[in-house]
C-alpha cells in the first residue's frame, strides 16, 4: 500500500480511480478493465448493501457480467459496514485478482475508504457501547462543534454529513482523551503531492451539475421511491448509515408525507450537487489524485490516457 515514505508502492497495488458522483468513474473503470485487463474493486460505502441498487447507481448485472466487480452486494441492509471491513474484503479481492494475473482497479467516490486503504486505520479502540449510546443522543451540530474544538484535523477530513462517522470520532475522543486523527497511522491533514497510480475525474461545475440532474431524473424514472419502499419493509430504518444515503433519505421522507414527489426530486438534485462539491474538496485535500479533466463522455479515450500514464509511472519504479 501507499505510505508517505514510500508512495510508489501503490503502483504495485493496482490503479485507483476516484471522482465525485456522476463523474463517469464506473464507465472509465470498465474501459480500463478491458484494456489492462483488470477487475474492479468498488470503493463505495453504499454499493456494499444488497438491494440498494437504483439510488447507489450500482453497476447493472450486464456490466458485472462484462467485467468482474468486487465489494458489491456483500452485506444486507440490516448489517453494519465500516472502513475496517472494507480493508479486509479489499485485501481478499486483491489477492484473488492477482492470482488471475489481472490488475485491481479501485473505483469509487468514498474518499474515506481510499484513505483507509492507502494509509491504514491505526489503533483506534474497540467501540464502547455506553459512550456510543450517550454520544448518539447528542445533536449532530453539537458533536461537530466538539470535534472541531478538540480535533480540527479529524474535523477537516470528516464527512460531516455522515452522523455515524462523526459519532465514532467523538466516541474515540471521549474514550481515549486523544485526538481521533492521531490514531490514524500516517494520516496527514493534506497530501502535499499527487499520489502515484491515483487518478481523479474532474468536470466543470456546470457540466457536472447537468450530469447529476440527468442521473437523478433517471433514478426516479427507474423507481427510486418504490425501491425505498421495499427497503423499508426489509429493515432499512434499522441501518442509520444506509438510511442517510442521498436519495433514500429523501424518498423515505416523501413516503412519510414530508414533501411531494416533485419537491423530493428537486431536493435530491440539490443534495447530490452539494455532496459532489464536498467530495471534490475532500479529494483535493486528503487524497491528492492526478486530475483528469473531463469534457464530454469519451470513456475509452480517457481510459487510454490514464492507462498510458499509469504504465509510464510503473516503468519508473
* Torsion (CA) 269, 154, 203, 65 in degrees, nearest 10: -80
Q: Over the stretch 150-167, which tens digit does the pLDDT of each residue have? A: 888 778 767 676 787 788
Domain ranges of the chain: 9-122+184-189+196-315, 123-183
Q: What is the CATH number of domain 123-183?
A: 1.10.20.140
Per CATH, the homologous superfamily of domain 9-122+184-189+196-315 is P-loop containing nucleotide triphosphate hydrolases (3.40.50.300)
Query: Are 111 and 284 within 8 A, CB to CB?
Result: no
Give pLDDT, residue 2. Answer: 39
Q: Over the stretch 220-267, which tens digit does the pLDDT of each residue have? A: 999 999 999 999 999 999 998 899 899 999 999 999 999 999 999 999
The DSSP annotation for 138-196 comes to: S-HHHHHHHHHHH-HHHHHHS-TT-HHHHHHHHHHHHHHSS-GGGGSTT--SS--SPPT
**In the predicted model, what is the mean pLDDT of residues 45-63?**
96
Q: Over the stretch 83-105, which tens digit does the pLDDT of each residue have? A: 889 999 999 999 999 999 999 99
The DSSP annotation for 270-308 comes to: HHHHHHHHHHHHHIIIII-PEEEE--S--HHHHHHHHHH
Query: What's the rounded Cα separation, in Å, for the pair 287 and 113?
Result: 11
Query: Are 95 and 101 within 8 A, CB to CB?
Result: no
Q: Is the dihedral of CA 96, 102, 104, 107 positive or negative?
A: negative
Alpha helices in 204-291 (DSSP H): 205-222, 224-234, 240-243, 248-255, 261-282
Instruction: Kindly report the average pLDDT of the chain as a whole number.
Output: 88
Between 208 and 1, name the one with better pLDDT: 208
CA angle in degrees (0–180, nearest 5) for 94-95-100: 95
The model's pTM: 0.83
Amino acid at each position: 500500500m501507499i505510505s508517505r515514505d514510500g508512495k510508489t508502492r501503490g503502483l504495485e497495488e493496482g490503479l485507483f480511480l476516484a471522482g465525485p458522483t456522476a463523474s463517469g468513474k464506473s464507465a472509465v473503470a470498465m474501459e480500463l478493465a478491458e484494456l489492462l485487463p483488470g477487475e474492479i474493486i468498488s470503493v463505495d460505502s453504499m454499493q456494499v448493501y444488497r438491494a440498494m441498487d437504483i439510488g447507489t447507481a450500482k453497476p447493472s448485472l450486464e456490466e458485472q457480467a462484462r467485467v468482474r466487480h468486487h465489494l458489491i452486494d456483500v452485506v444486507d441492509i440490516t448489517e453494519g459496514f465500516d472502513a475496517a471491513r472494507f480493508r479486509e474484503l479489499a485485501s481478499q479481492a486483491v489477492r484473488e485478482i492477482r492470482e488471475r494475473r489481472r490488475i485491481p482497479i479501485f473505483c469509487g467516490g468514498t474518499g474515506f475508504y481510499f484513505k483507509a486503504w492507502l494509509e491504514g486505520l491505526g489503533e483506534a479502540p474497540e467501540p464502547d457501547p455506553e459512550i456510543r449510546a450517550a454520544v448518539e443522543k447528542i445533536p449532530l451540530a453539537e458533536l461537530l462543534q466538539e470535534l472541531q474544538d478538540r480535533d480540527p484535523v479529524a474535523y477537516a477530513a470528516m464527512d460531516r454529513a455522515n452522523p455515524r462517522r462523526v459519532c465514532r470520532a467523538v466516541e474515540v475522543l471521549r474514550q481515549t482523551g486523544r485526538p481521533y486523527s492521531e490514531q490514524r497511522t500516517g494520516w496527514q491533514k493534506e497530501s502535499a503531492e499527487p499520489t502515484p497510480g491515483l487518478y481523479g475525474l474532474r468536470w466543470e461545475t456546470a457540466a457536472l451539475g447537468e450530469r447529476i440532474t440527468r442521473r437523478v431524473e433517471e433514478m426516479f424514472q427507474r423507481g427510486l421511491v418504490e425501491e425505498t419502499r421495499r427497503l423499508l419493509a426489509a429493515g432499512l430504518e434499522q441501518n442509520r448509515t444506509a438510511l442517510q444515503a442521498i436519495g433514500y433519505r429523501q424518498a423515505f421522507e416523501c413516503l412519510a408525507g414530508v414533501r411531494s414527489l416533485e419537491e423530493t426530486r428537486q431536493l435530491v438534485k440539490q443534495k447530490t450537487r452539494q455532496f459532489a462539491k464536498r467530495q471534490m474538496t475532500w479529494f483535493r485535500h486528503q487524497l491528492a489524485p492526478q486530475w483528469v479533466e473531463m469534457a464530454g463522455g469519451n470513456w475509452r479515450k480517457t481510459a487510454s490516457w490514464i492507462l498510458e500514464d499509469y504504465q509510464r509511472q510503473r516503468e519508473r519504479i
